[in-house]
Amino acid sequence: MSQIFNDKAIANLKTTVRYIAVDLSKVLLAFVLLEALLQVTAREYTNNVFDREFTAGHPIAVSSPGNRGPVVPIKKAPGELRILGMGDSTTFGTGIAAEDTWPAQLATVFQKNGTKATYINSALEGYSLKEINNVYRNLWSQYQPDLVVLAVDNNLVSMTWFRRDDKSVTANPYLEPIAKSKLAGLKNQFKILATPSWLKTNSQKCLYFLGLANNNMKPDVPLGATLALGWQQADFPPDVAERAWKQFETDLSVLRDSVVADGRTLAVVYLPTRFMAFDGFSDNEQQVPRQRLTIDAGKRLGEISKSLGLPYVDSTEGVRRGRSQIAQKEGRFAPMYIKFDTVHLDKDGHKAVAEDLFGLLGKSNQPQ
């Protein structure tokens, strides 16, 4: 009897294993077919590595002083126009190459117009205005920039508010030695695959579309792009957005004074969120309810800049114009932002910002 039972058990086990093998083969085949399709139709999902060395597969490329991009000597060359770009992760260039950030592209625009221009991208992810001012005074002011430009996205406003009482300055993590590991090396070997990134991104889209994820802020951690837009939420104090903007104005005036003390002028550019710049369904993949927003952040920043005597440009129209021009001249759709992101501009978005800044500063600023 036991032998019969054992024979049946073994037969059942073999059948189960066979079914599992068939199912795994189907999954593997589906993965291979999906990967092949994505490699042809959606290459932007490949190389989607974000770590200490790469941002969306692009080398971080932080130089020894701490700027993203090539090393720039402290002493300027004769006839050189030096651009200092300041900001947070958007200016830093999350998701794009160092040479595609707006400080680099602004230098290129100047060069095409006959000016010997160089750039310093001093931005870092998660910076607040106090940190930007601290790093400017203690480091970048020594590099004698001719143009000092602060790019403001909504995250910078919320971070400046959230860290208003911080006394310390965030250390640049890219200046620390990188501990090599076999796991990191293995991950880089698979960065060419598009399927993992595609599955992750589209599953997140589905969660927002189905209402299983939302944009609510934590009252004790009011971080995100919507605070600067006057986000309304039942359990969120209604005056926080106004207080955040007031704090931002105070800290911006301190940064202005630091720049003016060096005999320079601080210029400001606003970087809009995707869901405010455009109305398309694909431009609001996180389903942000715009009816709950009460502040025009670009207009508010313009008013603050005017009150502080700062040259200012709102790049909302520039980003819109950039998308339209690319469609007309190149026949392609330009998101202007990295995929599934409401804040961080892509290469085309940064180009639009650079062109706006050249329109603001190009004629009046020449090397000394």
pLDDT digits (tens, 9 = 90+) for 36-57: 988 888 787 887 888 888 999 8
Strand partners, 148: 84, 266
Contact predicate 347/340, CB 8 Å: no
Average pLDDT, the chain: 92
Instruction: Find the length of the chain.
Output: 368
Cβ-proximal residues to 142 (8 Å cutoff; 6+ apart), any chain:
74
Binned at pLDDT 50, 70 and 90, residue 367 comes out as very low
CA distance 76 to 143: 8
* Tokens representing residue 350 in the block: 């940064």
* Tokens representing residue 27 in the block: 């999954």
Cβ-proximal residues to 340 (8 Å cutoff; 6+ apart), any chain:
201, 204, 205, 285, 286
**Among candidates 253, 256, 243, 89, which has minimal Cα distance to 164?**
243
pTM for this entry? 0.91
- Count the helix, strand and coil residues of the chain and give each as a percent rounded to the nearest 5: 50, 10, 40
State yes or no: pLDDT of 2 exceeds 60: no
Q: Give exposure, 96-122, as e/b (b: 16+ Cβ within 10 Å).
A: bbbbbbbbbbbbbbbeeeebebbbbbb
State yes or no: pLDDT of 126 exceeds 60: yes
pLDDT digits (tens, 9 = 90+) for 261-287: 999 999 999 999 999 999 999 999 999
